[in-house]
Structures are given as C-alpha cells and as structure tokens.
C-alpha cells in the first residue's frame, strides 16, 4: 500500500484505499484501464502508478455521470468523486491492494480524452520493441516498467544513503571536458566561441575524480552520466549512468570492502536476502582456467576441465597436433544431458562454437550405462585413454562430455559460450537466483593488435601490483594490475582499480603503451602536473546502475531499465534523435554536414 499526499485534484491514489476508508468521500484521478458493462451497471478500473481501484457507475451516480462513463475509452484521464464502499460478497479481488473496496461514483470529470492507443499498457502480449519505443509514454504506463523504474529509484536512494553514512561527498564533475581517449570513441561537441575546437562528453569521470583525491576530498561519490560512441548490444547504451566513487589512502581490500557493504545493503533491502561477507573472490587467471571468462556465472557448476596431459599422449591427430603446438584441450561435463541432445542437437552445438567463437570443431562423448564413452571419435582412442578422459571429467552414466581443442583464447570463448547455453537449456539454475563475486588481479596489459605493442587492459592510470613494478619493461605480459571487477550472474556489474599516484611510474606505463612524453603532455598534462603536488595513494570503482537494475529486476534487456533509451542504432524513436539541425546553427559552428 502506498500513501500519497493529497492534492487539490485528488485525495488519494488508486492504490491506497481499503476497508478502513469505507464510508469516506474521496476523489481519485488516473487513466481508464478497463471498462465492463454488467446489466446497466458500469465498472471502470482506474489506474495510476500506485495501483488500480474499481469505480462503479449505476443509477445512483445520476444520468450525467453515467452518461459520461458510457463515453469513456481506454487511457482517458479522469477525475472521479464518490464514496468508498465494500465490494459485494464474492466479488472481492485478493490480488489487488484495493480489491476489498470500490468507489460508488457520484461525479465524473473527463480531464483529457485519448486517441485509440496503438497498444494497451495492460495487454499481456507485448508489441514489438520499436513500437514500444516510439510510443514510450504509453510503454512507461505498463506496471512492469513502473515497477522497474521504482526499483531503480530505490536502488539509487540506497546508494546515496549508504555512502553518505560512510562520509563520502557527492560532487558533480563536468559534462563538457577535454577529449582524452579511454578506449571507446568520444561524443564530440563543437565550440562556437572557439571555432575548430571541441569538447568531449565524458566516458567516465576518471581524471576528474583523481584530481579530487589530489585536492583532498578523500571520499568522493557521484551518480554520473557517461557517454561512449560504441557499437551497441542488449546490455549497452550510448549514454549510461554509473555509480562512481573514489577513495584516498586505500588499497584493493578497502575499495572492495566498501562495495561489499553496498552490495549487502542492496541485497537486504531489495531482495530480502542476507549476504555473507566478504563476497567470494578469485583471480583473473583462476576465472579463465575454471570458467573461460573473466566474469563467470557461478550459479551452476560445469567448470572447464583441462585435458592437456591426455592430449599429449594420445594418437588422435586433432588433440595431439593442438597439444604439440602449445594449444589447449579442454572440456565440460553436462551432467545427465546425454539423453537431452540427439545427434542433430550436438551438430547444432558444434555449429554454434564454430560460427560464434571460431572453434575448429567440437569433440563429444556420451557416457553409456556401463560407464564407457560412446562417440564416432571414440575409435581414435585406446580404452585406457578413454577411461582416463572419463575419470578426469568426472563422467557418470548419462553425462554428455564436450571438448574443444584450439588456442587458449578460443577454448575459453567456445566453452564459456557452451557452458552458458547448456545451463539455460538444461535449466541448471533458478532465474531468480543471484550470485555476487569479485574477479581480481587482472593483467596490466593486453596485446595491441593494431600496432603490435601493448594496450592497457583497464585504463592507462591503473597501478601495477608492487611485486610486478620491476618487470614492467622486461615482462609486461606477466604484470598484474591492482584491478577488480564486481560480477553478478556472469555479468560485469562494475570495475575499478587502484590508480598510479607517482608521476615517474605513470610515465613508465605511458611509454610501455606507446604514449611519448609530448603526447602524454597534450592529453593528460593537467593530471601529470597534479601528480607532482602531493598525490595520495587512491583508487575507486564504477558500478553500472543501468546494468545493476537489469540484474536485480531479472531482465535481459537494459533498455527496459531506462526511461528513455536508444535503439541499437543509437536512435530515439520517440523524439527522432539524432536529427538534422538548422543550417544557421551549423554555420555558427563552422561545420559543413557530410551527407554521404
């Protein structure tokens, strides 16, 4: 039940009246949800974001109100005045908070009629997403959308309250800043007063929050709007919201510990669930070996199993050649799934790993009732080796063993993809379950495919672990970062690092990334200058609020968690953005549009 402060047009919401209000005269406002005419008595369900209340129009309503009621249509906005009465016996609705009462209407005012909507907000079968986005104001009237946005409101309020209790200061950082490449393309804004120059919309407040640490604001937090001009997927948007925080005089455990507390608070207040703390952690290397992904879904098992030793001793050419070339042979055991997948089904899994992840193929075995491994490939192995494969993969009758032989990267991608697909198809977890964990100690660097050098795995301001500083130049591939990702249900919900606070170390990292001193000065000069004026050790994290709402509301499409999202082509179907502008505006900016 939600209580609403009365206003001049309504005394109550459509979700708060109950038996305690019987006999009271009330005024409700809302949208017509459904209409039913029963033998001359008209029933109207009136809806607002708080709930629904049944209005009743009969002879006692008077001819004027009854006549207006008969003219109502779906989505009309009305004001209804009447008395609260108990519903007749046998007509109550226990599914509604207001299901024990009804309003006997004495006066009806049509505040605004409505055209026939292209879809009904209350209909069970949703229309196509493009139609919903074009008429977003109708889509936002759906109870599911309202529930999600209310959850988002509660989540951000909990976040603000939590960090306020811990002494964090909420500080806004600029939206118009300097372009400092951070991995994705910037959205650029031309300057009218300084022709030929551009602002960039922030991909994150990264540099500003580091400056705040240097300025002495040792606990900063912000719910920040960020922008990235990148290819979109179901869980990405060109503009997004993140909880951004930074702390001074801290190391990894301090930042992770603060976020542990936040996650526990969110789980308790939004999920009614107590999480044991600290949240589990694993290193990046362990995650890639056990799950093939740096954001593993741990709601189910089916971990990757290494078969390199067996592959090196077998005569099966596919395994042996990969093993001899330094590749990997790994597999998963889909427990009890042998009977669920026919030969056609396994062929579909094979095509999946080949087409989606570039794997050369998929070797499979079904475990027979006597424990032997059956497959067209089985003839390439002697009995002892087959038995060893079964032992290493914990095979039991009815299991389905799936093996990929390829490079480390391909085996990771293919088996992670298989693992998630099989878990969904075999229903190995309850969609309502949630698992929270950390992945830590990411590599500092990744090979840069464009120039053959090195690229920052996170960003160029990430601090290496103390034990790896001395081998930055000699063994960059082995350097590990003070980096950490929060993982929820196999999705990266946020990521952060401890930053470099020493200018000399920052220059070493820049050089390794191919950023010379002149380029560094042009791009990041203000930060490099600031690092010379007493920069404390500091670090932080950014949590994707849109994605966290998606996960907490058990949705799969991030657009359903944002009031006014963009499509995968970064367009707003409701407003028509992006759109053309007046040529005069372009002339003032010195811009000639390219219409190719």
* Residues counted in the chain: 596
Cα-Cα-Cα-Cα dihedral sign, residues 180, 182, 457, 266: positive
- Other C-beta atoms within 10 Å of 147: how many? 12
d(CA 446, CA 454): 6
Q: Token pair of 260, please?
A: 């542990």
Main-chain dihedrals φ then ψ at residue 289, nearest 5 degrees: -75, -40
Angle at which helix 545-552 crosses helix 252-271, to 10 degrees, equals 40
d(CA 218, CA 537): 10
pLDDT of residue 184: 78
Look at residues 163, 127, 92, 250 and name the one whose alpha carbon lies nearest to residue 543.
163
Angle at which helix 517-530 crosses helix 206-214, to 10 degrees, equals 50
Main-chain dihedrals φ then ψ at residue 343, nearest 5 degrees: -60, -40
Main-chain dihedrals φ then ψ at residue 282, nearest 5 degrees: -145, 155
Positions of E strands within 254-379: 281-283, 305-306, 328-334, 363-367, 373-374
d(CA 365, CA 372): 9
Q: Token pair of 419, please?
A: 């693992």
Is there a common fold for 146-282+437-561 and 300-428? no
In sequence order, the 6+-apart residues with CB closer than 8 A to the CB of 145 are: 139, 560
d(CA 14, CA 193): 52
Peptide bond connecting 278 to the previous residue in cis, omega within 30 degrees of 0: yes
Q: Token pair of 408, please?
A: 């480390």
d(CA 282, CA 439): 5
pLDDT of residue 145: 96
Reported as type and span, the H/E element at residue 446 is strand 445-447
In this prediction, the residues of the chain whose per-residue pLDDT falls under 50 are none
| Superfamily designation of domain 146-282+437-561 | Bira Bifunctional Protein; Domain 2 (3.30.930.10)
In sequence order, the 6+-apart residues with CB closer than 8 A to the CB of 94 are: none
According to CATH, the topology of domain 300-428 is Gyrase A; domain 2 (3.30.1360)
Instruction: Among 2.60.120.10, 3.40.1380.10, 3.40.50.300, 2.40.50.140, name the CATH number for the domain at 19-112.
Output: 2.40.50.140
Return the domain boundaries, the chain. 19-112, 146-282+437-561, 300-428
Instruction: Report DSSP letters for 252-280, one per residue.
Output: HHHHHHHHHHHHHHHHHHHH--PPPSSPP
Query: Given phi > 0 = left and psi -120 to 50 = alpha, else beta, which region is 318?
Result: alpha
d(CA 111, CA 93): 28
Cα-Cα-Cα-Cα dihedral sign, residues 324, 325, 326, 332: negative
Look at residues 245, 239, 263 and name the one whose alpha carbon lies nearest to residue 171.
245
Note the helical H segments in 1-61: none
Give the DSSP letter of residue 188: E
How big is the chain by its Cα radius of gyration, in Å?
A: 30
Give 363-387 pLDDT, tens digit per residue.
999 999 999 999 999 999 999 999 9
Is 260 in contact with 279 (CB distance < 8 Å)? yes
d(CA 107, CA 123): 28
pLDDT of residue 487: 98
Look at residues 28, 53, 42, 41 and name the one whose alpha carbon lies nearest to residue 111.
28
Main-chain dihedrals φ then ψ at residue 537, nearest 5 degrees: -60, 135
Q: Are strands 51-57 and 101-112 parallel, antiparallel or unpaired?
A: parallel
Give 521-557 pLDDT, tens digit per residue.
988 889 999 999 999 999 999 999 999 999 999 998 9
Beta bridge partners of 105: 82
């Amino acid at each position: 039940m939600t209580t609403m402060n009365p206003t001049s047009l309504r005394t109550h919401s459509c979700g708060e009246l109950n038996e305690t209000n019987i006999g009271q005269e009330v005024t409700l406002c809302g949208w017509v949800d459904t209409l039913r005419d029963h033998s001359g008595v008209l029933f109207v369900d009136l809806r607002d974001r708080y709930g629904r209340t049944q209005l009743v129009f009969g002879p006692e309503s008077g001819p004027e109100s009854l006549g207006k009621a008969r003219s109502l249509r779906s989505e009309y906005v009305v004001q209804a005045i009447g008395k609260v009465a108990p519903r007749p016996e046998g007509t109550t609705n226990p599914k509604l908070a207001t299901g024990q009462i009804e309003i006997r209407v004495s006066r009806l005012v049509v505040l605004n009629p409505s055209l026939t909507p292209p879809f009904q907000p209350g209909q069970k079968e949703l229309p196509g997403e493009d139609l919903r986005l074009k008429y977003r104001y109708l889509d936002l009237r759906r109870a599911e959308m309202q529930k999600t946005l209310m959850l988002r409101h509660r989540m951000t309020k909990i976040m603000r309250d939590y960090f306020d209790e811990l002494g964090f200061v909420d500080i806004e950082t600029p939206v118009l800043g300097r372009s400092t490449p951070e991995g994705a393309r910037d959205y650029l804004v031309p300057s009218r007063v300084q022709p030929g120059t551009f602002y960039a919309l922030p991909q994150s407040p990264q540099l500003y929050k580091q400056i705040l640490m240097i300025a002495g604001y040792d606990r900063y937090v912000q719910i920040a709007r960020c922008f990235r001009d990148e290819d979109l997927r179901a869980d990405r948007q060109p503009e997004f919201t993140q909880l951004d925080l930074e702390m001074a005089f801290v190391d990894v455990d301090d930042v992770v510990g603060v976020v542990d507390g936040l996650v526990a608070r969110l789980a308790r207040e939004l999920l009614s669930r107590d999480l044991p703390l600290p949240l589990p952690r694993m290193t990046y290397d362990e995650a890639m070996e056990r799950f093939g992904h740096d954001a593993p879904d741990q709601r189910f098992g089916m971990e990757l199993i290494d078969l390199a030793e067996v592959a090196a001793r077998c005569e099966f050419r596919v395994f042996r050649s990969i093993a001899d070339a330094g590749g990997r042979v790994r597999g998963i055991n889909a427990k009890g799934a042998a009977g669920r997948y026919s030969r056609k089904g396994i062929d579909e899994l094979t095509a999946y790993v080949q087409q989606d992840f570039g794997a050369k193929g998929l070797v499979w075995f079904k475990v027979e009732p006597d424990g032997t491994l059956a497959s067209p490939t089985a003839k390439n192995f002697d009995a002892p080796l087959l038995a060893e494969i079964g032992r290493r993969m914990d095979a039991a009758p009815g299991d389905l063993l799936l093996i990929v032989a390829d490079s480390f990267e391909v085996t990771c991608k293919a088996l992670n993809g298989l693992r998630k697909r099989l878990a969904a198809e075999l229903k190995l977890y309850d969609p309502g379950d949630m698992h929270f964990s950390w992945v830590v100690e990411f590599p500092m660097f990744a090979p840069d495919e464009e120039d053959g050098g090195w690229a920052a795995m996170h960003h160029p301001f990430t601090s290496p672990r103390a034990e790896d500083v001395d081998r930055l130049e000699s063994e960059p591939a082995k350097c590990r970062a003070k980096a950490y990702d929060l993982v929820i249900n196999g999705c990266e919900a946020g990521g952060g690092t401890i930053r470099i606070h020493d200018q000399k170390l920052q220059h070493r990292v820049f050089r390794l990334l191919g950023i010379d001193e002149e380029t560094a000065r042009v791009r990041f000069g203000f930060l490099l200058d600031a690092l010379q004026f007493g920069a404390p050790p500091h670090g932080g994290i950014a949590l994707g609020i849109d994605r966290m709402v998606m996960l907490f509301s058990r949705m799969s499409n991030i657009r359903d968690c944002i009031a006014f999202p963009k499509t995968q082509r970064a367009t707003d179907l409701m407003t028509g953005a992006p759109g053309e502008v007046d040529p005069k505006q372009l002339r003032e900016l010195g811009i000639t549009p390219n219409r190719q």
